[in-house]
Amino acid sequence: MKPQPAQPKVATTLTGTMTSKHEITFFLPFAPIPSPRPQARVIGKFASFYMPKAYMDWKRAVADYVYQQVQHTPSELLEAPVEVTAEYIVTPPKTTKLSFPKPDLDNYEKSLLDALSMATTIWKDDTQVHQMLSSKRWAAEGEETGMSVRLIFGR
């Protein structure tokens, strides 16, 4: 089953706020999806690789949201090392025996980092991430799914 991109909820206030000169925190109201494996197709003698459309649409939607809603990183920090803390809040299935979401945590991380890189307002490239602390969990009943993110620059 292919992951479907979530429709973002319209933010009524600026979601991302700079809490100090070197830190920004924000919530992304998109259902987290793990980064899929590239797909391949052969045309004649040549193979081409691509990412599934649903994933690319999700990544573009998150990047657009970040670009519009989250305060831009000051220019002197755009190339600084970044420490990332992220929590992925995932919609639980109707029935499961698992106490946590199944997709690998590193696949959620890759999706988030690629979307933030695509936004162009957070950092120049995700190679600047030198430390990452991540967790994943099921959303509590009535809780909004999404990604809670904290970025610390220049450490």
pLDDT tens-digit map of 38-58: 777 888 888 887 678 998 999
Burial of residue 19 (CB within 10 Å: 0-12, 13-18, 19+) is: exposed
CA 39 to chain centroid, in Å, comes to 21
Q: How confident is the model at residue 140 (pLDDT cuts 50, 70, 90)?
A: very high
What pLDDT is attached to residue 46? 85
pLDDT tens-digit map of 70-85: 877 788 888 899 999 9
SS3 113: helix
- Is the pLDDT at 65 greater than 80? The verdict is yes
